Amino acid sequence: MPVRIALLAGCVLTCLPLTLPAASLDDVRKLVAESLKPEDTEEPDSPARAKVLRDLLKGDLGLKSGEVAELRLDLAEALVDANDPEAAEKLVREIAAGAAPALRERIGLVAVAAWQKRWRRAQDPASILPAEDAVKDLGDCGPKAAARAQVAEAERLIALQAGARAARLAGDKNAAGPDPAGILARLDRALVLLRDGRADERVPVYALRLLAMERSGAKPDAIQAFLTEHASDPAAQMMGETAMTGGQKLVGQQAPKLAAKRLDGKPGNVDLATSAGKPVLVWFFTTWSDPCTLLAPVVQQLATDAPSQLQVVAVSLDNKDTVPRIPAWVERHGVTFPVIGDAIGWDTDLDDAWHVDAVPALILVTAAGKVAAVDLVAAPDQVAAKVATALGQPAAQPVKPPADVPFVP
DSSP secondary structure string, 111-130? HHHHHHHHHHT-S-GGGSPP
Asked, for residue 296, whether it belongs to a domain, the answer is yes
Residue 399 or 236, more confident: 236
Coil/strand/helix, residue 373: strand
pLDDT at 15 over 50: no
DSSP per-residue codes, 345-372: GGGSSHHHHTT--SSSEEEEE-TTSBEE
Query: Would you say residue 108 has pLDDT above 90?
Result: yes
Interatomic CA distance for residues 78 and 313, integer angstroms: 56
Residue 305: CB atoms within 10 A of its CB come to 14
Q: Taking residues 68-82, what's their average pLDDT?
A: 96
| Strand pairing category for 269-271 and 259-262 | antiparallel
Q: How many domains does the chain have?
A: 2
Mean pLDDT of the chain, nearest integer: 86
C-alpha–C-alpha distance, residues 373 and 376, integer Å? 7
- Structure confidence at residue 245 (pLDDT): 54
Is the pLDDT assigned to residue 170 strictly greater than 50? yes
Q: What is the mean pLDDT of residues 224-235?
A: 90
Residue 137 lies in a domain: no
Does 277 lie in the same domain as 170? no
Whether residues 272 and 234 fall in one domain? no
User: Are residues 386 and 315 part of one domain?
Assistant: yes
Residue 91, classed as helix, strand or coil, is helix
Asked if 291 and 317 sit in the same domain, the reply is yes
Say if 265 falls within a structural domain.
yes
Q: Are 194 and 240 members of one domain?
A: yes
Residues 155 and 226 in one domain: yes
Supply the pTM of this predicted model. Answer: 0.60
The neighbouring-strand residues paired with 339 are: 314
Q: Is the pLDDT of residue 16 over 90?
A: no
User: Do both 212 and 282 map to the same domain?
Assistant: no
Is the domain of 167 the same as that of 277?
no
Q: Which of 7-16, 76-85, 233-242 has the highest mean pLDDT?
A: 76-85
In this structure, the number of other CB atoms found within 10 A of the CB of residue 288 comes to 15
Instruction: Say yes or no: 266 and 352 in one domain.
Output: yes
Q: How confident is the model at residue 248 (pLDDT cuts 50, 70, 90)?
A: low
The CATH number assigned to the domain holding 291 equals 3.40.30.10
Q: Examine residue 154 and state whether it is found in any structural domain, yes or no.
A: yes
The parent domain of residue 229 ranges over 149-244
Last residue of a domain, one of 244, 272, 290: 244
Mean pLDDT of 126-149: 92
The torsion angles phi and psi of 370, rounded to 5 degrees, stand at -105, 150
In a domain, 121, yes or no: no
Q: Are residues 216 and 297 in the same domain?
A: no
**What contacts 299, CB < 8 A, 6 or more positions away?**
281, 283, 312, 314, 337, 362, 383
Q: What is the DSSP letter of 309?
A: T
Q: Let me know if residue 3 belongs to a domain.
A: no
| Residue 78 lies inside a defined structural domain of this protein | no
What three-state secondary structure class fits 286? coil
236 in the same domain as 194: yes
